[in-house]
Structure formats: C-alpha cells, structure tokens
C-alpha cells in the first residue's frame, strides 16, 4: 500500500481488502443521478435488469468518472477497465429477491479460449466462468441512484467471504452463519464497491419505493489465457 496516500484512502483500501466491500457516500450529486434517470427513460427496459448499458455514451462517461475518482481508483488495479454495466431496478412493479451467491461470470468475446470454458448467452453477450485468479481481481462498483434503506431491498453481504475462493453451497451456509449478513445502506449518489466473489443477496422491498442501481464490473485491461473482454471502457 502506498504510504503517500491520505489516511482515509488507506483505511478504505484496508477495509476493502479485509471485508470485500466499502460504501463511499457522496460520489455523484443528486443532479447527476437525475440526469441518469432521463437517460434510463430512453433505454427500453425488460425485466429487472439490462446488462448492456455501456453501449451508451452517458454510461461510458460515468465509467470513466468512477475509474478516475480519487477515492475509487485506489481500489482498482493499475490498468482498470469497465467491462459491463447492468441496471437493476426494484419498485412496487418489479419487486424481486436474489439468494446468497457470488458473481462468477464475465462477458467476453466468443473466441476459442472462451469456447473451451463453456459460453452462455444473455442479452446477446457471451459469458464464461473464468478461473478464480481472474475473479479475485475484479471489482463491482454500484452507483445508487436512490437512497437505499432497510426497506427497499438493499444488498446484503457476508463480510470477508471473498477471501475463500469459489464457494460450495455448504460453505456458503457456514460462512453466513459464522459471519452474518450486513445490509449495505447507501445514500443517493453513493457508490458501493465490492468484490464479485463476496457473498451477496437481496430481499424484496417492504415499502413501495424505488431502488435503482447502476452496477459496473471493472477488472484488469488484459486477461490471461487468450480471453478477451467483450468491451473495455
């Protein structure tokens, strides 16, 4: 860790390393979030999420702001890229939950190396499950476009669970019982950074609100073993 970094940044890096997540409030203004809503209105939505938002200039601009932010860039590797942005919306009309899991897929170009790993298609993207050494280098950055409260289905995480590699179902249950789940409450404009291997879940909302999130996946520019990112911003 670089000694010249201010104490806050070093503490943030340390917490991210130990716990696998960190909440950074006040990264984007309410005005920027409202501008994003205008853009999202133009994006045709089907179901709770859309995985292809990095195709839009406004989304690429957000990715660049994230990568260069002084609090966020120290959490990313030396040559970070954003590979994908997914929009998640919970609302009274789309009130959903997900069980505890790790994110183990990345969007890549469907070349020979990807075919060897086994490709699955979603929304026209090719996904593979890469080796754990790659997954350990990834960072998810979630921009919260609404205040995320205990009542609107916050992400729940099992602190430290990212350090155990890919987990079997019995290990997931054991780690949850041992470490418990923390609800990640993030104010509008804040960013939740997490390791995709961190166990995470989310419940249905209990009040009729909206919880809208842009979820960026970042990683190192170069992938090993012939794998090539679908997109690099």
Residue 142: CB partners within 8 Å, gap ≥ 6?
155, 186, 191, 192, 193, 194, 213, 214, 215, 216
Tokens (6 digits) for 110:
């469907």
How are strands ordered across the β-sheet holding 182-184?
98-101, 200-202, 155-157, 182-184
User: How many other CB atoms sit within 10 Å of the CB of residue 69?
Assistant: 17
Among the listed residues 55, 78, 54, 56, the one whose alpha carbon sits nearest the alpha carbon of residue 67: 78
Nearest approach in angstroms of CB 39 to ligand AKG is: 19
Say whether residue 195 binds ligand AKG (CB under 6 A).
no
List 202, 212, 214, 233, residue binding ligand AKG (CB under 6 A): 202
Q: Of 5 and 98, which has the nearer Cβ to ligand AKG?
A: 98
Q: Of 52 and 200, which has the nearer Cβ to ligand AKG?
A: 200
Q: Which residue number is nearest to ligand AKG in terms of Cβ?
A: 202
Cα–Cα–Cα angle for 57, 50, 34, rounded to 5 degrees:
55
Owner of token pair 């990112």: 229
Say whether residue 88 binds ligand AKG (CB under 6 A).
yes
Residues from 127 through 156 that contact ligand AKG (CB under 6 A):
153, 155
Nearest approach in angstroms of CB 6 to ligand AKG is: 30
Q: Of 24 and 155, which has the nearer Cβ to ligand AKG?
A: 155
Residues from 9 through 68 that contact ligand AKG (CB under 6 A):
none
Say whether residue 98 binds ligand AKG (CB under 6 A).
yes
Contact 159, 197 (CB under 8 A): no
Question: Given the rule CB under 6 A, which residues bind ligand AKG?
Answer: 88, 98, 103, 153, 155, 200, 202, 213, 215
């Amino acid at each position: 860790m670089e000694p010249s970094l201010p104490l806050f940044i070093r503490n943030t890096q340390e917490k991210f390393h130990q716990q696998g997540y960190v909440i950074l409030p006040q990264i984007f203004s309410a005005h920027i979030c409202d501008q994003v809503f205008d853009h999202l209105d133009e994006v045709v939505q089907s179901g709770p999420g859309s995985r292809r938002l990095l195709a839009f200039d406004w989304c690429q601009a957000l990715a660049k702001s994230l990568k260069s932010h002084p609090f966020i860039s120290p959490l990313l590797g030396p040559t970070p890229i954003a590979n994908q942005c997914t929009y998640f919306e919970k609302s009274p009309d789309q009130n959903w939950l997900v069980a505890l899991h790790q994110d183990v897929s990345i969007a890549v170009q469907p070349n020979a190396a990807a075919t060897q790993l086994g490709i699955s298609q979603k929304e026209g993207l090719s996904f593979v499950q890469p080796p754990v050494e790659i997954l350990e280098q990834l960072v998810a950055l979630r921009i919260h476009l609404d205040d995320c409260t205990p009542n609107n289905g916050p992400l729940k995480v099992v602190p430290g669970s990212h350090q155990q590699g890919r987990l079997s179902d019995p290990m997931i249950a054991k780690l949850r019982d041992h470490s418990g789940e923390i609800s990640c409450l993030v104010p509008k404009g804040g960013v939740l950074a997490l390791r995709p291997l961190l166990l995470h879940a989310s419940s249905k909302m209990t009040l009729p609100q909206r919880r809208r999130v842009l979820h960026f996946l970042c990683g190192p520019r170069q992938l090993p073993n012939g794998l090539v990112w679908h997109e690099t911003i």
